[in-house]
Homo-oligomer: A and B are copies of this chain.
Amino acid sequence: MVAGATKQNKKSRTQKRAKRTRRRLKKAALDIFSEKPVDSVTVEEITEKADVGKGTLYRHFADKDEIIVVLVDDAVDHLVERIRDYSARPDALEDMLRHILDAHYRFSVDSKEEFILLFQGKLLARLQADTLEDIDEPYLRYLEEIENQVSTYLSPSIDPMKIRRLACAVAGFVFGFFSFAMIGMNADEIETSIKPLRWVFVRSLCEFLGR
């Protein structure tokens, strides 16, 4: 028992080492991907920033594309966690929509790199679906999360397409607004802009749903 436990612990130390290396690679890749287009990033840039050998990257990932997919998947997980992160379930649909938009905003501030990568990844999902397997899936999962959160307030007989439209509108509004705001405003202006727009957007979404 003791020997077995020791064996497990010791094996775990080797596994921990590998996991640490993998995390360093992912962190380095994410940092660089949020600063330049993913296609112009070289494997060497990633391994140099992670301070590991080039062969190490290929030990953990098939290639650069796999890192991208893995990081997009992680980022969607984190965003979905934010969307789900409410201690008490909001009573009204308006409150839930406001919470969802707030979650996005906080995510864009706290996890700026992932936010930008999600934006890049979604473009790649359109342009490179043939070479980036499964890049769509995290985004569909994300849209479904918004749908699931919203559905609980609606009649079970509501048209699923209408909910899909709403999810695309929410996601599109957040990512779309930020992408233009980044060009035409500074950070303070973006922050003070999002709240008034969010409020009227939430109201119009509720109206769209016929409430």
Contact = CB atoms under 8 A, between A and B. Distances in A.
Interface in A125-143: 125-128, 136, 139-140, 143
Contact of A171 (B116, B176, B185, B201): B176
Copies in the complex: 2
Question: Which size class do A's interface residues fall under?
Answer: 35 or more
Interface of A: 35-40, 116, 119-120, 122-128, 136, 139-140, 143, 161, 164-165, 167-169, 171-185, 189, 193, 196-197, 200-201, 203-205, 207-208
B207 A203 contact: yes
Contact of A173 (B120, B176, B185, B193): B176
B200 A207 contact: yes
25 contacts: A37-B123, A120-B123, A120-B127, A122-B180, A123-B123, A123-B179, A126-B179, A126-B183, A139-B180, A143-B183, A143-B184, A164-B184, A165-B185, A168-B177, A168-B180, A168-B181, A169-B173, A169-B201, A172-B173, A172-B178, A175-B179, A196-B208, A200-B204, A204-B204, A204-B207
In order of increasing CB-CB distance, the 3 nearest A-B pairs are A176-B176, A204-B204, A172-B176
A172 B180 contact: yes
B176 A179 contact: yes
A161 to B, nearest CB: 6
Contacts of A205: 200
